[in-house]
Amino acid sequence: MHSLDGSTGGGQLLRSALSLAALSGESFRMTGIRANRTNPGLRAQHLAAVRGVARACDADIHGDAVGSEALTFHPGATDGGRFDVDVGTAGSVALVFDALLPLATTLDRPLAVTVTGGTDARWSPPAEYYREVKLPLCRRFGLQAAVDVARTGYYPAGGGEATLWLAPSSLSEIEFADRGSLAGVRVYSKASTSLAAQNVAERQAEAARERLGEAGHSVAERRVTYAKSNSPGSSLLVRADYDRSLAGFDALGERGVPAEDVAAGVVDSFLDFDDGRASVDEHAADQLLVFLALAGGRVSIPRVTDHVETSLELLSAFGYDVSLVRDSRPILVAGQTSSDTSVYPR
């Protein structure tokens, strides 16, 4: 059993540990879960990820309660099928999906998991980022997955519903070292129907288009939608299409913040990224590390965050060889593995 320290990482460290345990069949005990956070221990969305992965791999778990700072996880065999998970709050649906996504590499039959909670939640990528950036990136190296959003859920009521569909997948080596040239920019703006009278979604999209135009970028696609939701809210995504990669930049609307200011912040994030040479955005940088461990390859990232550092330590604990090439510009993360991605590291 692996003994893991959860005090130096947040929820992403726990989600990666769940994925790696299910993939390798190796148990772990994590203590000090989120100890450096203002609200330490498992929150509802972390608990939903624990129970979702446990259901998918028939695991025995101990310490699965809100507020628990210690968790023991004994995985069984991963199988397909279909089941539901309820976060119970507006906690992120996408972050629950993150823990389940790598399991596609061990499936013999499809898996569908429907999660109820926040589809567009604080401190996590909105649903459009998942569908328009992360999953298209993953499909480029062979991961077969899709997400359907049946109902949008904003903070604080949540109540959104989305389904992750996974098919048995065999990964190819990941090659995102050089992004190539910028091929196009897309704008996806969404708001709850309660904000339609204020034209919030249109204003976000138009302000983004104008700011991009001022910087010399035309918009290849502009999509504006309204969705029923139990709480008012909005989200904006700008997707950058490069010759050999994708990157996404997003924000949620906030009470008292004009739609135009939301758009300005998102576009500025894209412009800062485009001025560099990294192939993937900061969201994807740490979330792709598990796949690098499984398939090998190279990914150039904007910077080395705490999430990246702690994730690399976790991968090493499970016997995977993923490391930073710090003297390269941009910084590279490189994974070494067998050409047969179905073979575990031990």
Q: How far apart are CA 121 and CA 11, in angstroms?
A: 14
Q: How far apart are CA 240 and CA 96, in angstroms?
A: 25
Q: Does 307 qualify as catalytic in the annotation?
A: yes
Within 13 Å, how many C-alpha atoms sit on residue 33's CB side?
A: 25
Q: Which of 46, 217, 283, 307 is catalytic?
A: 307
Quickly list H helices, 91-250.
93-100, 127-129, 135-139, 200-214
Do 41 and 67 touch, CB atoms closer than 8 A?
yes
Cis bond leading into 345, ω under 30°? no
Helix (H) or strand (E) holding 16: helix 11-24
Query: d(Cα 25, Cα 77) in Å, to the nearest integer?
Result: 7
Which residues in 32-144 belong to E strands, given as ranges? 60-62, 70-74, 81-86, 111-117
Residue 239, SS3? strand
User: Measured between alpha carbons, how far is 11 from 87 in angstroms, rounded to an integer?
Assistant: 14
Q: How far apart are CA 100 and CA 147, in angstroms?
A: 12
Query: Which residues are the active-site residues?
Result: 307
